[in-house]
């Protein structure tokens, strides 16, 4: 039995309540993050504008030295014909301020740390008729100095704006600019655009599209047995292409290329040399859980490659390559659970997973994201299998928890998936198996206990040494202090989209949605390297740029498929299937929200990457396959030959992605 009508009705009420609670919790957390004194979010306020010293936007982080903190002195001279008794200064800043008015310190605003909060100071007796001058020194260690100021009670009111000047580590004044977190380095705008990429590789992409249409025409004539092998053929083709990309990467991609790649390599070598696990602060990346680095150290110990050579690069990238290819296999297996033996949906799911550059490019970089993505997707697969099984056993619940614990031990992002899996397993035991509430809760608790048994020690150790279970390298004594552009957030960053289709490599600076799109369909974060000259030879940039346009239908399919999955999760009497579909809808939603919240809490351009949500690759591939299969049916109803267009597009997308990666 998969559940009764009463169980299905109860599940529906729980799903609606859960969705509402999730939405309210997300809204509350975002509001709290914006108001937090640790979040440099700049709200719009009437009467003045936020300003910053005029500085170029760089790709590289800005190191903060304790003996030389980033300090800006904002200045403005202004004329007053008369002074009212109620003159008041309203001021906000990030972060520490010291105010001087006409050369005298303003009482109460001498080295005051504001962190964005507003203060008011009376100016009676301090202003004078004629020329006045205000100076505001601002010190900010995790972003550019920022100021919002307004003097009221004078005519006209004085407000911070572009008329001000600033001094920054130099005696001569420089201009200021309105605080704008959507500026991009001009050099990124000179990189190939999607239109240029299509022109450069038009013949290749047209040939791939023709091959895709022909392959569909041939495939439709195959018998049922041959068609059933199409998904495995798609996986085999992905494996061959993965091997090509891996081999080419050893020649073209240096070991230091990739986000924080040098730090990840240092961590692995530290573990190998010391035969121990470092505390956060002992190695730059040591705040990460250690599973990936322990495995990398084991590979290095077994292979003993010569330092700096091709063999070392291949050894360190073996796990990322296998893990990212494994994600394609997991997507296929998850589609098999959801769709049964329907070859069209299975093949489409495998193809969409294989064509995700965010996953493929990790095969060429040394990063814990690859292993984490595989284990997180395996956790989703195992959870779905548990929900769809004839009966939930305590052994299965505990085993699921152990697997999810390994995912957490690869990266803490999987902490978001564990409670989702535990709650759904408990609901499954109660509504489909008919267990009493205590027994159903025990099944969910076993998932949590299994995860805690594997990964709990890591957080306990952090708590013992640092007083908190979650730390990163800026939170520990001796950790490197740095910040990265833009260093603050405004509402404008969350309200736009489109730059990724025009200048995709500058898109991570333009908006959150452009950043996610640009880092899903290519190496939009420029590999985390210090200079563009070091990054540009790594990939075929025109082909990569073309993939941003070709990826639009796949993105729309994933979004539409997610809506289809969410809709079907609310329908029918099959409680087990509805719970599995709830899982596939919930995991992308939870990880997606985490990306939004993190973009606020850590407003650095390279911290907004779609690869952080690769734990949702398999659910998104399944959702996209559902939408594309529906599109196939709609095209076939219009004309029997029209589905060829779908497979022509998919072949062109695959060609652009793999040419970009393999060069």
Closest to 425 in 3D by CA, of 377, 388, 462:
388
Residue with tokens 């936007």: 57
Residue with tokens 């936020």: 50
DSSP code for 279: P
The two tokens of residue 7 are: 């169980």
The two tokens of residue 99 are: 């105010």
The two tokens of residue 44 are: 């719009």
The residues, ordered by sequence, that sit 6+ positions from 129 with a Cβ below 8 Å of its Cβ are 80, 81, 82, 83
The two tokens of residue 334 are: 């998850």
What is the rounded CA–CA span in Å between residue 245 and residue 241?
A: 6
As a 3-state breakdown, the chain gives helix, strand, coil percent values, each rounded to 5, of 60, 10, 30
Largest CA distance in the chain: 93
What stretches of 569-642 show up as alpha helix (H) in DSSP? 575-601, 617-638
Pseudo-torsion of CA 616, 360, 365, 284, nearest 10°? Answer: -10
Backbone dihedral region for residue 284 (phi beyond 0: left; psi -120 to 50: alpha; all else: beta): alpha
Q: Assign domain 51-178 to its CATH superfamily.
A: Galactose-binding domain-like (2.60.120.260)
Residue with tokens 């073309």: 546
10 Å Cβ neighbour count for 200? 17
For residue range 487-543, list pLDDT tens digits in order. 999 999 999 999 999 999 999 999 999 999 999 999 998 887 767 888 888 899 999
**pLDDT for position 171:** 67
Contact 529, 60 (CB under 8 A): no
What is the rounded CA–CA span in Å between residue 344 and residue 434?
A: 35
Strands of 262-328, DSSP E: none
Contact 91, 118 (CB under 8 A): yes
Spans of the chain, pLDDT less than 70:
1-3, 170-171, 477-479, 530
**pLDDT for position 287:** 92
Residue 136 host element (H or E): strand 130-139
**pLDDT for position 196:** 97
Domain spans in the chain, listed from the N-terminal domain onward:
51-178, 190-363+493-662
Q: Compute the Cα dihedral for 628, 634, 637, 640 and give only its sign.
A: negative
Residue 32 host element (H or E): helix 5-35
Q: Determine the Cα angle at 149 with ends 148 and 153, to 5°.
A: 155
What is the rounded CA–CA span in Å between residue 126 and residue 120?
A: 14
**pLDDT for position 1:** 44
Query: What's the burial of 192, exposed, middle or buried (CB within 10 Å: 0-12/13-18/19+)?
Result: buried
**pLDDT for position 340:** 92
What is the rounded CA–CA span in Å between residue 92 and residue 148?
A: 5
Average pLDDT of the chain is: 92
Q: How remote is the C-alpha of 275 from its chain's centroid?
A: 32
Contact 575, 428 (CB under 8 A): yes
The two tokens of residue 10 are: 């109860």
What is the rounded CA–CA span in Å between residue 336 and residue 351?
A: 14
Q: Compute the Cα dihedral for 451, 455, 461, 463 and give only its sign.
A: negative
10 Å Cβ neighbour count for 171? 5
Give the end-to-end CA distance of the chain in Å, rounded to a whole number. Answer: 53
What is the rounded CA–CA span in Å between residue 327 and residue 356?
A: 10
DSSP code for 220: T
What is the rounded CA–CA span in Å between residue 329 and residue 235?
A: 7
Query: What's the burial of 447, exposed, middle or buried (CB within 10 Å: 0-12/13-18/19+)?
Result: buried
The two tokens of residue 308 are: 């700096």
Q: What is each CA distance from 343 to 23, 69, 549, 619, 625, in whole angstroms?
A: 36, 60, 27, 17, 11
DSSP code for 52: E
């Amino acid at each position: 039995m998969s559940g009764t009508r009463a169980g299905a009705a109860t599940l529906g009420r729980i799903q609606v309540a859960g969705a509402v609670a999730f939405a309210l919790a997300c809204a509350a957390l975002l509001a709290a993050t914006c108001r937090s004194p640790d979040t440099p979010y700049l709200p719009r306020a009437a009467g003045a504008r936020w300003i910053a010293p005029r500085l170029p936007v760089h790709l590289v982080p800005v190191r903060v030295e304790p003996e030389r903190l980033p300090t800006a002195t904002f200045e403005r001279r202004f004329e007053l014909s008369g002074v009212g008794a109620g003159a008041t200064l309203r001021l906000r800043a990030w972060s520490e301020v010291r105010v001087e008015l006409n050369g005298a310190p303003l009482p109460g605003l001498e080295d005051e740390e504001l962190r964005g909060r507003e203060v008011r100071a009376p100016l009676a007796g301090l202003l004078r008729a004629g020329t006045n001058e205000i100076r505001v020194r601002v010190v900010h260690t995790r972003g550019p100095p920022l100021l919002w100021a307004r003097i009221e009670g004078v005519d006209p009111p004085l407000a911070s704006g572009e008329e001000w000047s600033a001094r920054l580590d130099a005696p001569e004044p420089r201009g200021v600019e309105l605080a704008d977190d959507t500026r991009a380095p001009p050099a990124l705008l000179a990189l190939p655009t999607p239109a240029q990429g299509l022109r450069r590789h038009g013949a290749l992409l047209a040939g791939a599209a023709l091959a895709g249409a022909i392959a569909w025409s041939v495939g439709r004539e195959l018998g049922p047995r041959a068609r059933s092998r199409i998904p495995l053929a798609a996986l085999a083709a992905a494996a061959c292409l993965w091997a090509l990309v891996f081999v080419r990467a050893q020649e073209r991609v240096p070991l230091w290329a990739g986000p924080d790649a040098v730090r990840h390599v240092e961590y692995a070598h530290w573990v190998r040399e010391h035969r121990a696990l470092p505390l956060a602060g002992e190695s730059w990346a040591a705040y990460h859980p250690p599973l990936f680095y322990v495995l990398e150290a084991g590979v290095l110990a077994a292979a003993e490659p010569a330092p700096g050579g091709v063999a070392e690069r291949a050894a360190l990238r073996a796990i990322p390559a296998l893990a990212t290819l494994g994600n394609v296999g997991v997507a296929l297996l998850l589609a098999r659970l959801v769709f049964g033996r329907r070859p069209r949906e299975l093949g489409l799911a495998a193809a969409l997973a294989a064509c995700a550059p965010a996953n493929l490019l990790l095969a060429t970089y040394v990063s814990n994201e690859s292993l984490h993505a595989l284990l997180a997707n395996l956790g989703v697969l195992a959870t779905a299998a548990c929900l769809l099984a004839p009966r939930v056993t305590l052994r299965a619940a505990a085993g699921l928890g152990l697997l999810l614990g390994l995912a957490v031990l690869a990266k803490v992002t999987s902490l978001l998936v564990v409670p989702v899996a535990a709650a759904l397993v408990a609901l499954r035991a109660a509504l489909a198996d008919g267990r009493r509430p205590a027994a159903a809760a025990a099944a969910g608790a076993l998932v949590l206990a299994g995860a805690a048994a594997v990964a709990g020690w890591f957080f306990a150790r952090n708590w013992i040494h640092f007083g908190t279970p979650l730390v990163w390298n800026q939170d520990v004594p001796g950790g490197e202090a740095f910040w990265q552009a833009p260093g603050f957030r405004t509402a404008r960053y969350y309200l736009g989209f489109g730059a990724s289709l025009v200048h995709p490599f500058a898109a991570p600076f333009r908006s959150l949605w452009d950043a996610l799109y640009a880092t899903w369909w290519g190496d939009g974060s420029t590999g985390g390297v210090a200079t563009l000259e070091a990054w540009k030879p790594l990939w075929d940039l025109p082909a990569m740029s073309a993939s941003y346009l070709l990826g639009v239908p796949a993105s729309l399919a994933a979004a539409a498929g997610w809506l289809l999955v969410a809709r079907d999760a609310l329908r029918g009497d099959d409680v087990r299937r509805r719970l599995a579909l709830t899982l596939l809808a919930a995991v992308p939603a939870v990880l997606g929200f985490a990306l939004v919240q993190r973009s606020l809490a850590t407003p650095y351009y390279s911290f907004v990457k779609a690869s952080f949500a690769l734990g949702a690759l398999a659910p998104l591939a399944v959702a996209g396959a559902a939408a594309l299969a529906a599109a196939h049916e709609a095209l076939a109803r219009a004309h029997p030959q029209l589905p060829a267009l779908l497979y022509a597009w998919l072949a062109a997308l695959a060609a652009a992605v793999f040419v970009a990666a393999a060069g």
